[in-house]
Amino acid sequence: MKRIAVLTSGGDSSGMNAAVRAVVRSALSSGLEVVGINKGYKGLIDRNYGMMSTRSVSNILQRGGTFLQSARCKEMMEEAGQNLAAENLKGMGVEGLVVIGGDGSLRGALSLHRRGIKTIGIPASIDNDIPYTSMSLGVDTALNNIVYAIDCLKDTASSHDRAFIVEIMGRNCGYLTLVAAIACGAEHALIPETPFNIGRICENLRKRYREGRDNSIILVAEGVATAQEISNQIKDCIGFESRIMVLGHYQRGGSPSSFDRLLGSRFGQGAVQALMEGESGKMIGLSASKMKLTDLEKVLTGKIRPIDKSMVQLSKSLDF
């Protein structure tokens, strides 16, 4: 394999730049050439691309969004678009492709694999809805954004004895809403995966009011309802006025967290390694990060956590 390409596709997420940088630098350090495709599959179809150097990915690690830019591409959902994308890659002399994006983008990657392009996908979406990885790229940063916003909201809510309904992204997945609710100490999280009872929520709001609690925060996943709809339902039920906040695309931006920078770097390097080992039609994911109890005696031996040698290797391969 002599030349690979990389693209970011679908909704952006923080950490995509770290992943692109790692793809480019680890590929170059292994003697491969790298083509950067602009604006996702749209750019692939339009042949909007350029050669990447180690300098072209300097100073992007700390930036949110994707410097290659992204797009949602309808053509790529159809055979004609997929055929053209594969032909264009072959025309560019590209033998391997790394696709960084959510489930729709990974579907595009599979279609290219079926057309003879060696392809590896990197799961990147704030929704954390992609299976076979415990975290997708950008989830951690989005959570930090949400937590920051809700902490601010709680200050003003407390000053005025207010209830706020906060609408959170995630499509049909309630992960962000649920985890943010835990991290922020919200009173309720309404998510698509579990039914909820608006009557019980209203009862709780009344109880909190009687107890003299100075704020109530209810998070609603966009896949359940809008914040306005929930606010209206509460008003109809108990005549209680609540304020709403729709976090929207704010959640997707911002400087990536350390976790997402590291995850993007690991995903990027892993994807290139997989391509060089002849893998294709696969997604690289993070697994085995499940909760697990360990005896304190074992933990408290005085030894510090051993460094992961593959991380040392990774840092070397990205710093040349």
Q: Which of 12, 127, 129, 140 is catalytic?
A: 127
Residues 234-293 that bind ligand F6P (CB under 6 A): 252
Dihedrals phi, psi of 121, to nearest 5 degrees: -100, 145
Residue 238, token pair as written in the block = 């108990």
Residue 127 as a binder of ligand F6P (CB under 6 A): the answer is yes
Q: Tally Cβ neighbours within 10 Å of residue 250.
A: 14
**Binding of ligand F6P at residue 102 (CB under 6 A)?**
yes
Q: Which stretch binds ligand F6P (CB under 6 A): 43-51, 53-61, 164-172, 268-276?
A: 164-172
Matching residue, tokens 């309904």 = 165
191 binds ligand F6P (CB under 6 A): no
Q: How far apart are CA 161 and CA 213, in angstroms?
A: 7
Joined together, the tokens standing for residue 237 give: 């039920």
**Is 308 in the active site?**
no
Alpha-carbon span 234 to 71, nearest angstrom: 38
Kindly state whether residue 76 participates in binding ligand F6P, applying the rule CB under 6 A.
no
Residue number with CB closer to ligand F6P (126 or 181): 126
Site string for ligand F6P, 138-157 (x = CB under 6 A): --------------------
Distance of closest approach, residue 252 Cβ to ligand F6P, in angstroms: 6
Among 169, 224, 247, 275, binds ligand F6P (CB under 6 A): 169
How far apart CA 84 and CA 116 sit, in angstroms, is 13
Q: Of the candidates 171, 213, 243, 282, which one interacts with ligand F6P according to CB under 6 A?
A: 171
**Residue 277: how many other CB atoms lie within 10 Å:** 9
Does 22 belong to an annotated binding site? yes
Kindly report the backbone phi and psi dihedral angles of residue 34, in degrees, each rounded to the nearest multiple of 5, phi listed first: -130, 130
**Using CB under 6 A, which of the segments 111-119, 156-164, 166-174, 195-203 binds ligand F6P?**
166-174
Angle CA 174–175–179, to nearest 5: 120
Report whether 187 belongs to an annotated binding site: yes
Q: Does the annotation list 56 as a binding residue?
A: no
102 has binding-site annotation: yes
170 makes contact with ligand F6P (CB under 6 A): yes
Residues sharing a CB contact under 8 Å with residue 92, sequence separation 6 or more, in sequence order = 3, 5, 35, 47, 49
- Residue at token pair 């809008």: 226
User: Mind telling me the catalytic residues?
Assistant: 127
Residue ranges binding ligand F6P (CB under 6 A): 11, 72, 102, 125-127, 169-171, 222, 252
Known binding residues for Mg(2+) are 103
